[in-house]
Amino acid sequence: MTSRISLKAAAKINLYLEITGNRADGYHDLVMILQSIDLCDRVDIRKIGTDEIQILCTNPEVPCDRSNLAYKAAALMQSVYPEIGGMEIAIDKKIPMGAGLAGGSANAAAVFVGIDRLWDLGLTQSQLCDFAAQLGSDIPFCVSGGTALATGRGEVLSPLPDLIDLVLVICKPRQIAIATAWAYQTFRKQELLATSQVKNQNLSSQIVAAIASGGESAPHKIGRLLYNDLERVVLPEYPAIAELKNKLLDQECLGAMMSGSGSTVFAIAPDLDRAQQIAEAVRTDDIDVWVVKSLVRSIFDA
């Protein structure tokens, strides 16, 4: 039996994020469309001779203690399956932190998948997603990946037709990291749910239809329908993010929006050449930029 496994863990973006209700558990009812992208961390899991869980990471800002989602994923699996021994989890971090790209969730998803394979547990994807939902709303999607409609607090997933080779320019102001909890709490405190901009427009159905339509026109349709409720609290608080979004829109992209709770902003490009041009136009010493494509899965062999 193998003693180690190396996996790629993909980031995600939100093509759509609508807050539809406040939940008693402190979370929010959501309608989201999530997409895996080929900006990935590498997660190496190695069996060790003790029962310890050891976390290593190339980014010194990532906590390597019990607060790390990868640690929590491993500890949860150990608590359910006594045969699981100790492990070293080494994370080569490429997905930026505090970016709305679910980097920590992706790492946890890789740990769930990696443990299942290393210890030959034979779990289904549905079972892995059930474990993932115990730790965080984004982690089930990071287990399954591709293109999906997410409801509930984000953990109820319905697969959508794969978006093949959707080209995106991902931009992050280097000095800005945003806490997801702050964004949602501020949205609730400002009572923005009562002034929903899309509640009666059926916009989520329109973007689902655009994805399902496929073909060369799909990116154009999707670009016109991008929506994120959290922009309503984040952009006024962080004008640099609003400025970056406007700069992308000035580059004749198909659409631009903040992903998740930010601070990442992305643009949909018509093709790879145009994406490279957009990237060069917005890249500065203070803004990190990646040109990426959509993926049909989120966890795969490194």
Annotated binding residues: 96-106
How does DSSP classify residue 284?
Answer: B
Return left, alpha or beta for 36; rule: phi > 0 is left, psi -120 to 50 is alpha, else beta.
beta
Q: Which of 116, 138, 162, 229 is catalytic?
A: 138
Q: Measure the CA dihedral 55/145/291/225, to 10°.
A: -130
Q: Give the span between the Cα atoms of 3 and 210, in whole angstroms.
A: 44
CB contact at 8 A, 185 and 23? no
Is 138 labeled as catalytic in the residue annotation?
yes
Task: Extract the annotated binding site for ATP.
Answer: 96-106
Question: b/e per residue, 171-203, with b = 16+ CB within 10 A?
Answer: bbbeebebebeebbebbeeeebbeeeebeeeeb
Q: Which residues, 6 or more positions from 83, have their beta carbon under 8 angstroms from its beta carbon?
A: 119
Q: Which of 12, 93, 245, 247 is catalytic?
A: 12
Count other Cβ atoms within 10 Å, centred on residue 122.
8
Tokens of 197: 């901009």
Tokens of 294: 């959509």
Q: For residue 26, give the 3-state DSSP assignment.
A: coil
Q: Measure the CA dihedral 196/202/204/209, to 10°.
A: -160
CA end-to-end span of the chain: 19
Q: Which residues are catalytic?
A: 12, 138
